[in-house]
Copies of this chain bind each other. A is one copy, B any other.
Amino acid sequence: MAHYIPQGFRFASLYSGIKQDTSRSDMTLIVSDVDAVGAGVYTQNLVCAAPVVLDRSRTPGSHFRSIFAISGNANACTGERGYRDAVRMAELAGEVLGTPAESTLVLSTGIIGHFLPMETIEKGCREIVPHLASDETALDGVARGLMTTDTVPKCFTKKVLIDGVEITLAGLAKGSGMIAPNMATFLGVVLTDAKLNPAAAQKLLQNVADKTLNCVTVEGHTSTNDTLLMLGNGLSGSADVTENPAFVAAVEEICEAMARSIASDGEGASHLVTIHVHGTKTVSDARKIAREIAESALVKCAFTGNDPNWGRIVSAAGYAGVAFDVAQVSLDVNGFRLFEKGSPVAFDAAEVSRSMRENREITVDLRLGEGTEEIRFWTCDLTTEYVHINADYHT
C-alpha cells in the first residue's frame, strides 16, 4: 500500500537492544521540522505508566518537535525512578535534535515493572538521528518499530483538499491485545501538516477516540500505557482546519482504520468482529451494550466456531445495565435475521455459519428500538491460540 507523507516530518527506527529479538527494531523517533500543535488521549487506568504521566502534563500544546518511542519495556509500575527515566528520554531526544526537552513526547510499550535500560536507550538515541528520513520506507520503519506482538505494521495515510490546500495525514499504531509476556498496549500517532489549534485539537482527538479507538476491545484489559497523540505542524500552508468537517472526517477515517486493524490483529484472532448497536436512547447506552457483547468470552468463542449463537449475544446485552424492552429487540449476523421482536426466527444455521466461516469479518447488528443513538464497536474472536500466547509465555 502506497503511503503519503505529511510535509515536514521525518522518521527513524533501529534496534537498540531493548528487545531480545535483535532482528526487530525497538526504538523510533518522529521529528517535526517546525513546532507542531499536539494533543493526547490517554489510558483511563489508575495504574498508568510514566510516559503517560509525562505526556499528559504536556498536552495540549503548540511547541512539539518530536515523539520518542521504545518498545519492549512499558516503564509502568516503576515509581519515581520510572518517571525520571521518562523525563530523561525526552531530554535525550532534545539533546540529539537540538530542541527543548519539553518539545518531546515519549511513548513506551512492553513488559511491566522493569526499569528502563537507560544506558541502552541513551546509546540508541545518539545513533538514531542519522537515520531520519521522510520517505515511505522510513514511515513504514516506524510502524514496524512500534510493534510488539502485532503481526502486521499499522500505517494509514490520507490526503484531503480543504480550501484549495492539500493536507496530508498519517496514522501509525501498534496494538494486538497484549504483549508477551505482559501487557496490552495501544499506541497511536496521527501526524498532519495541517495547521491546528491546541485546545480544539485536544477536543477533536478526544471526540474521535471516543468513536474509534475507545470502541476497540480485545479482552477488556485496559493497559497502563494506552496513548493516542496527534501532531499538526502547519507546513501544508493550510488555515486552521481543526474544526473543518472534512479534516475532522479525515482524522476519524484514519483512527477508524487503526481501530479496525487492532481488532483484526488481536492475538490469535481468526475474525474481525464489528458490533453495531442501533436504536438506544443515548450513545452511552449503546456503548455499554456493545462493550458487554464484545467482551463476552461466550460470544467470542461462538464467533471462533462460526456459530450464529444469538442467545449469547442477546443475553450479553441483557446484563449491560441498560434498560430496554426485550420484545422490541432484533438481531442480524452478517445480514441474516436471527432474532426479531424478542422471539427466535427460523433461519438456515448452516448458511449463516458458512457466511461466518468464509469471511474474516463478522458484522453484528443489534437493534433495540428504544431511541435513535448508535455505536460501532470492534473486537475479535477468542481462540485457543490466544490462550497459548498468554499462558505459555512466562515472566
Contacts and interface: CB of A to CB of B under 8 A. Distances in A.
Contacts of A327: 79
Given A344-B113, A384-B384, A315 B391 contact: no
Given A296-B221, A318-B47, A112 B390 contact: no
A317 B315 CA distance: 26
Given A297-B297, A326-B46, A384-B387, A307 B77 contact: no
Given A296-B220, A297-B219, A391 B318 contact: no
A50 to B, nearest CB: 12
Interface stretch (A12-20, A59-67, A176-184): A176-184
Interface string A366-395: 000000000000000111101110111111
A317 B47 contact: yes
Classify the secondary structure of A's interface with B: loop
Contact of A221 (B79, B298, B307): B298
A296 B353 CA distance: 29
A4 interface: no
Nearest to A297: B219
Given A112-B315, A221-B297, A318-B224, A390 B79 contact: no
A117 interface: no
A149 to B, nearest CB: 12
B382 A387 contact: yes
A46 B288 CA distance: 14
A301 interface: yes
Residue among A48, A224, A394 with the highest chain B CB neighbour number at 10 A: A394
A181 B309 contact: yes
A223 interface: yes
A336 interface: no
B47 A308 contact: no
Contacts of A311: 76-77, 111-113, 182-183, 395
A49 to B, nearest CB: 10
Interface residues of A, number: 69
A305 B394 contact: yes
Interface string A301-323: 11011011111101111110011
B391 A383 contact: yes
Interface in A320-349: 322-324, 326-327, 339, 342-344, 349
A393 to B, nearest CB: 7
A298 B390 contact: yes
B387 A47 contact: no
A393 B221 contact: no
Contacts of A178: 298
Contacts of A304: 387, 391
Given A77-B344, A182-B309, A344-B77, A315 B387 contact: no
A130 to B, nearest CB: 35
A244 interface: no
A25 interface: no
Nearest to A318: B47
A44 interface: yes
Residue among A77, A178, A222 with the highest chain B CB neighbour number at 10 A: A77
Interface of A: 44-48, 76-79, 111-114, 178, 181-184, 219-224, 295-299, 301-302, 304-305, 307-312, 314-319, 322-324, 326-327, 339, 342-344, 349, 353, 381-384, 386-388, 390-395
Instruction: Give 6 closest A-B pairs by Cβ, nearest first.
Output: A47-B318, A112-B311, A301-B390, A305-B391, A222-B319, A304-B391
16 contacts: A46-B324, A47-B317, A47-B318, A47-B319, A77-B314, A77-B343, A111-B311, A112-B315, A178-B298, A181-B307, A220-B295, A304-B391, A305-B393, A307-B391, A349-B394, A384-B387
